[in-house]
A and B are shown apart, each in its own frame.
Chain A
């Protein structure tokens, strides 16, 4: 039987006020995929983290830019891609400090990527210089 794949996308201006709209979109995707509520909440938070990073770090004050969230549902997974054209980053340079160190240094960030990796089954990041940055996350519908 051929696999059925459905793709959805949302494009919003780079502003944190649009995170709620992104969460609503992702909630709809998770529900449509038939994920249990707990997994829908995990995807929602992971995508919120990814988009907040783009808005606050990749674009910074450039509110005229846009964040694109693409979602693909197939028989086995929900895949989410967060695409931006801002300043990319090297995942290898992300702080590996533990929570105690972050607390001691009065940091208010450094938890987003950690959350994404915990909440999703796969997280991949690709920078295509001069074109785009793409964060792809996968949630499997069934655990084997």
Chain B
């Protein structure tokens, strides 16, 4: 039964990449919320969510992105989303997250967005 969810953390310069893996639902969302909160509290506000291994998301998972983005941007950072599988991307798009968040194909694109924000689309 599919219940697992993990977050693997890595850094590129002062950018933190959170690689999400598995199922992000009402059961696992608190775990993701804790991870983002820790980054924010630690002053890390240049964040990339690498969703390449994220196989499922419900509104509880989306709620974590939704609740942090304003504070992160007000602190001068951003939470960029990349590498979404089509099934997961559809959920983000249904709710209009693509108009709020920068969603790009790959981690490298998100890193470029931080390094060269003037050229962001």
For residue A110, which residues in chain B have a CB less than 8 angstroms away from its CB?
A: 63
Q: A109 near B58 (CB under 8 angstroms)?
A: no
Q: Could you tell me the distance between the alpha carbons of A55 and B66 in the complex, rounded to whole angstroms?
A: 21
Q: B26 near A56 (CB under 8 angstroms)?
A: yes
Q: A99 near B95 (CB under 8 angstroms)?
A: yes
Q: Would you call the interface of chain A mostly helix, strand, loop, or mixed? A: helix
Interface residue B60 (Cβ < 8 Å from any Cβ of A)? yes
Chain A 61-89 near chain B by CB (<8 Å), digits 1 or 0: 00000000000000000000000000000
Question: From A111, which residue of chain B is reached at the shortest CB distance?
Answer: B59
Q: Could you tell me the distance between the alpha carbons of A55 and B62 in the complex, rounded to whole angstroms?
A: 18
Q: B2 near A107 (CB under 8 angstroms)?
A: no
Taking a contact as CB atoms closer than 8 A, the residue among B23, B56, B59, B69 that contacts A109 in the complex is B59
Q: How large is the interface on A (under 10, 10 to 19, 20 to 34, 35 or more residues)?
A: 20 to 34
Question: From B71, which residue of chain A is reached at the shortest CB distance?
Answer: A106
Tell me the minimal C-beta distance from B43 to chain A in angstroms: 19
For residue B3, which residues in chain A have a CB less than 8 angstroms away from its CB?
A: 17, 20
Q: Given A48-B58, A109-B59, does the pair A20, B27 have CB atoms closer than 8 Å?
A: yes
Q: A23 near B2 (CB under 8 angstroms)?
A: yes
Q: B63 near A111 (CB under 8 angstroms)?
A: yes
Interface residue B70 (Cβ < 8 Å from any Cβ of A)? yes
For residue B23, which residues in chain A have a CB less than 8 angstroms away from its CB?
A: 20
Chain B 61-99 near chain A by CB (<8 Å), digits 1 or 0: 011101111110000000000000001000100111101
Task: Give A contacts to B, CB under 8 Å.
Answer: 16-17, 19-21, 23-24, 38, 41, 45, 48-49, 52, 55-56, 99-100, 102-104, 106-112, 114-115, 118-119
Q: Name 20 interchain pairs, CB-CB below 8 A, sorted by A.
A: A16-B26, A19-B58, A20-B1, A41-B87, A48-B25, A49-B58, A55-B26, A99-B100, A100-B100, A103-B69, A106-B68, A107-B63, A107-B66, A107-B67, A108-B64, A108-B67, A109-B59, A111-B63, A115-B91, A118-B94
